[in-house]
Structure 1
Amino acid sequence: MQYAYLITRTDDDTDEDRRVMSRGTQTLADDQDPREFATARLEQNCVEHSYYTGPRRIAYWPHQNDRPIPRTAPANAQHLDG
């Protein structure tokens, strides 16, 4: 199944339009837990953006390939803080 993700900074001192750190899609295996995917992606983002040590959140949700990824998570998204 295809999932989209959106990783954002959650500190209050950042303008809304500058909070997005990463977004994309990934196809998960049938037996892959979406929460495990989100945890791994959030950890990878911490390594890739190690200059930023503040709080961040990943939102993830089932996604259709033909749709663009929004700059804000849809209402049905799951969230994980890191």
Structure 2
Amino acid sequence: MPQYAYLIAGTDPADDRDEDRRVMSRGTQTLPDGQDPATFAADRLAQNRVEHSYYTGPRRIAYWPHEPGTPLPRTAPANAQHIDG
């Protein structure tokens, strides 16, 4: 089963904090065989909107394949896929 890392950050252009200071959530998840990573990411982004309802601005999830046991980076790597929401 593939493992994916994700990073969700606010993308409000008025927020002048550095990218790594805008992060609301990050983590990894093992996806069941056959689950589309984009579906996982969209679901995780929707869940984040509920969990962090105090932030009403735009946000983005970056997701990418992740090797188990390796540390998560502070910002998304260049090969990450993105969904805005």
Distance in 2 between residues matched to 1:80 and 1:68, nearest whole Å:
22
Distance in 1 between residues matched to 2:21 and 2:78, nearest whole Å:
21
Match of 1:37 in 2: 40
Alpha-carbon offset, residue 14 of structure 1? 3.9
Equivalent of residue 25 in structure 1, options 25, 28, 40: 28
Match of 2:70 in 1: 67
What letter corresponds to residue 46 of structure 1 in structure 2? R
Distance in 1 between residues matched to 2:7 and 2:16, nearest whole Å:
16
Q: Give the % identical residues.
A: 74
Matched positions, count: 82
Match of 2:10 in 1: 9
Write out the 4+ residue segments of structure 1 that deviate beyond 6 Å after TM superposition: none
Distance in 2 between residues matched to 1:14 and 1:41, nearest whole Å:
25
Match of 1:50 in 2: 53
Alpha-carbon offset, residue 75 of structure 1? 0.8
What letter corresponds to residue 46 of structure 2 in structure 1? E
RMSD: 0.9
Unmatched 5+ stretches in structure 2: none
TM-score (normalizing by structure 2)? 0.92
